[in-house]
């Protein structure tokens, strides 16, 4: 009987404290969360503001480039350089932004190009401790040339639908290729995590159209080879 009375007294003594705590949680719109650090046996208090700042910074972190690319040829200039982002559960998607240099050749002046490229790498094969093979890479990219000679809409000086294509300003390209990646050892890493050498076989929308309309144009006439290096920084 004494133990029962003691238990009731102990329970009733906690009721005011619990009630006060519940009211505080209801009235406090900026409630805190205690996170225990198991390794250091420490606790950190995170407010709604802290969590909002964390999400804000994490969103901007996605804009940090993770790759640097240099590419030779590929319907995007003689040489192109730029940055890229890789993402996905297995880093199978890549988005690249490249700027290229197009020599004058037979034109009056040299020009600059810009390319937005989307890559897809379905799988990777480990062929050694420090080497990986990507037997298939494919994708699409949009390329434009800076200059007054190229137009997005057919000028009025030409008859209506004089040119069968809509624009000379933007070209749509597709490609397939392969990559070989070498991992930089951890004790030697300074700026890059790994380096990939790749080649791509590509063509553009105008070339494909010419092949389908003209039987004299073959597949070998419309495809081009490009080479490149990709430096994975993160």
The pLDDT profile of the chain, 234 residues, written as one tens digit per residue, is 444 444 444 444 443 434 444 444 334 444 444 444 444 555 778 899 998 999 999 889 889 999 999 999 999 999 999 999 999 999 999 999 999 999 988 777 888 999 999 999 999 999 988 999 999 999 999 999 887 766 566 656 656 665 655 666 788 999 999 999 999 998 888 899 999 999 999 999 888 988 988 889 998 999 999 999 999 998
Please tell me whether the overall predicted TM-score, pTM, comes out greater than 0.75 for this model: no
DSSP string, 44-102: EEE-HHHHHHHHHHHHHHTTS--EEEEEE-SSS-SEEEEEEEEESTTS-EEEEEEEEEE
Question: What sign for the dihedral angle of Cα 150, 152, 154, 155?
Answer: negative
Q: How many CB atoms are closer than 10 A to CB 154?
A: 16
Contact 134, 179 (CB under 8 A): yes
In angstroms, the Cα distances linking 62 to 21, 57, 65, 221 are: 39, 9, 8, 40
The helix (run of H) or strand (run of E) holding residue 42 is strand 42-46
Tokens standing for 137? 């890479």
At 222, give phi and psi (nearest 5°). -110, -10
Residue 114 backbone class (left: φ over 0; alpha: ψ -120 to 50; beta: rest) = beta
């Amino acid at each position: 009987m004494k133990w029962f009375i003691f238990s009731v007294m102990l329970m009733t003594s906690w009721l005011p404290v619990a009630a006060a705590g519940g009211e505080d949680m209801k009235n406090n719109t900026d409630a805190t969360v205690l996170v225990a650090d198991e390794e250091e046996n420490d606790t950190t208090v995170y407010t709604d503001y802290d969590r909002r700042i964390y999400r804000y910074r994490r969103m901007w972190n996605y804009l940090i480039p993770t790759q640097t690319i240099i590419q030779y040829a590929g319907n995007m200039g003689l040489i192109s350089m730029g940055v890229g982002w890789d993402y996905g559960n297995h880093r199978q998607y890549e988005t690249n932004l490249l700027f290229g240099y197009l020599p004058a050749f037979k034109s009056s002046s040299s020009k600059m190009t810009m390319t937005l490229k989307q890559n897809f790498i379905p799988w990777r094969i480990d062929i050694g401790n420090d080497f990986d093979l990507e037997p298939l890479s494919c994708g699409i990219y949009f390329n434009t040339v800076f200059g007054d000679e190229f137009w997005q809409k057919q000028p009025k000086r030409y008859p209506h639908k004089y040119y069968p294509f809509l624009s000379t300003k933007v070209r749509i390209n597709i490609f397939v290729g392969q990559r070989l990646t070498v991992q930089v050892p951890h004790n030697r890493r300074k700026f890059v995590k790994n380096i990939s050498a790749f080649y791509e076989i590509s063509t553009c929308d105008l070339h494909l159209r010419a092949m389908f309309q003209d039987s004299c144009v073959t597949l070998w006439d419309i495809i081009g080879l490009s080479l490149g290096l990709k430096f994975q920084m993160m």
